[in-house]
Amino acid sequence: MKVLVADKFEKAGLEGLAALGCEVINRAGVGTDKLGAALTETHPAVLVVRSTKVPAGVLEQAEGVKLIIRAGAGVDNIDVGAATARGIRVCNCPGMNAVAVAELTMGLLLCCDRRLPDQTAELRAGRWNKKEYGKTGAGGAKGLKGMTLGVIGVGAIGQEVIKRATAFGMRVVAWSRSITPQHVGALNAEFGGTDTPALLALAARADAISVHLPLTDTTKKLFNKTFFDAMKPGAYFINTSRGGVVDEAALRDAIAAKGLRAGLDVFEFQPAEAEAGFESPTAKCAGVYGTHHSGASTEQAQGAVAEETVRIVKVFKETGRFENCVNA
């Protein structure tokens, strides 16, 4: 069975696929523009992608591909509808990188509160400034203990964030379209509701918000002017999910108008390539602490994703079954 790997993939995963008897074609970094040609040239049964986009045009050249595996959780870089129409199954690796994303979430919260990147930048510029970073009150660090954190989305990542935030002494209120008070109680969080009025009520009472939702038609720009207007002045907004869930212009306005701080691992128009120019007014905005969609990029998480990818291929090869299929 031929497996085409289109993005950087752990060595253990490549070896695991080879150990299954697969012919592994490693084309990490091929990019969307050349992916169709690579598929036509190599005729794989399985395509593995991480960040590379797989639009309908590429799928037209995917003759013989039976399975696309997203080496991660979100499948929004793949045109799942077009894959379904061509009889191609799309499978993902849910939960495998949840701990890594939750860890970055806590880091971004701490950046918002302690302004760690600003402190480092001043030290690197040869300046000692305890006057600024040691102050309390307006603009100073508040401390996470005792803060109310609204966790929006309670899948694998949201649940890992709840555990870590609770350990920091934060009061966690969880919101999701599909949770019940019982479910949330078992996670040691408070029930924050399931509808839009409840979401806005949570925005109004939270000291910090952390978003863990997939990008879908219903979550697109869910965090908009109305949401940011509802947030408390000086509150923190963290997004490690997808850039498309945020109206970035509205966020920038709220940062300027009411001193919100934001920790963002994802941006609406971020590059799909691993390295590229990126001129983003949001990423450049003072008050935004940004990272490079690297939430899932730890050795622990990528090892777990690679292992799950190999398992999905193994089950498909041996039984024809599609594990974690999102378009069954």
What track of x and - describes contact with ligand MLT for positions 163 through 202 (by CB under 6 A)? ----------------------------------------
User: What is the sign, positive or negative, of the torsion defined by CA atoms of 297, 299, 305, 306?
Assistant: positive
**For ligand MLT, which residue of 27, 50, 89, 317 counts as binding (CB under 6 A)?**
50
Nearer to ligand MLT, 97 or 239 (CB): 97
Backbone φ, ψ for residue 162 (5° rounding): -55, -45
Place of tokens 């899948």: 155
Alpha-helical regions (H) of the chain: 11-19, 32-42, 56-59, 80-85, 98-114, 116-124, 130-133, 156-167, 181-186, 196-205, 225-230, 248-258, 281-284, 299-319
- Given a contact cutoff of 8 angstroms between Cβ atoms, the answer to whether 245 and 217 are in contact is no
Q: Is 49 in the site for ligand MLT (CB under 6 A)?
A: no
Which amino acid, one-letter code, is at 69? Answer: I
Binder among 62, 73, 109, 254 for ligand MLT (CB under 6 A): 73
- Does position 47 interact with ligand MLT (CB under 6 A)? The reply is no
Of these, 3, 154, 213, 296, which contacts ligand MLT (CB under 6 A)?
296
- Does 27 help bind ligand MLT (rule: CB under 6 A)? no
Amino acid at 225: K
Which of 28, 34, 53, 74 forms a contact with ligand MLT (CB under 6 A)?
74
Binding of ligand MLT by 293 (CB under 6 A):
yes
72 vs 153 by CB, closer to ligand MLT: 72
* CB closer to ligand MLT, 74 vs 234: 74
Q: Is 32 in the site for ligand MLT (CB under 6 A)?
A: no
Binding region for ligand MLT (CB under 6 A) out of 69-77, 103-111, 182-190, 220-228: 69-77
DSSP notation for 233-293: TT-EEEE-S-GGGB-HHHHHHHHHHH--EEEES--TT--SSSS-----HHHHSTTEEE--S
By CB under 6 A, tell whether 6 contacts ligand MLT: no
Work out the widest C-alpha separation in the chain, in whole angstroms. 65
Mark the segment that binds ligand MLT (CB under 6 A) among 68-76, 128-136, 159-167, 313-321. Answer: 68-76
CB of 215 to ligand MLT, least distance (A): 10
Is residue 97 at the binding interface for ligand MLT, with CB under 6 A as the rule? yes
Q: Give the residue from 292, 289, 291 showing the smallest Cα distance to 115.
A: 289
Return all residues near 185 (Cβ < 8 A) that are at least 6 apart. 191
For residues 212 and 261, which CB has a smaller minimum distance to ligand MLT in the complex? Answer: 212
* Residue 144 in the binding site for ligand MLT (CB under 6 A): no
3 within 8 A of 44, measured Cβ to Cβ: yes
Exposure on the CB side of residue 97, measured as CA atoms within 13 A: 27
243 binds ligand MLT (CB under 6 A): no
CB of 199 vs ligand MLT, minimal distance in Å = 22
User: What's the distance, CA 31 to chain centroid?
Assistant: 20
Size of the site for ligand MLT (CB under 6 A): 7
Indicate the residue among 104 and 209 with the shorter CB distance to ligand MLT.
104
Interacting residues with ligand MLT (CB under 6 A):
50, 72-74, 97, 293, 296
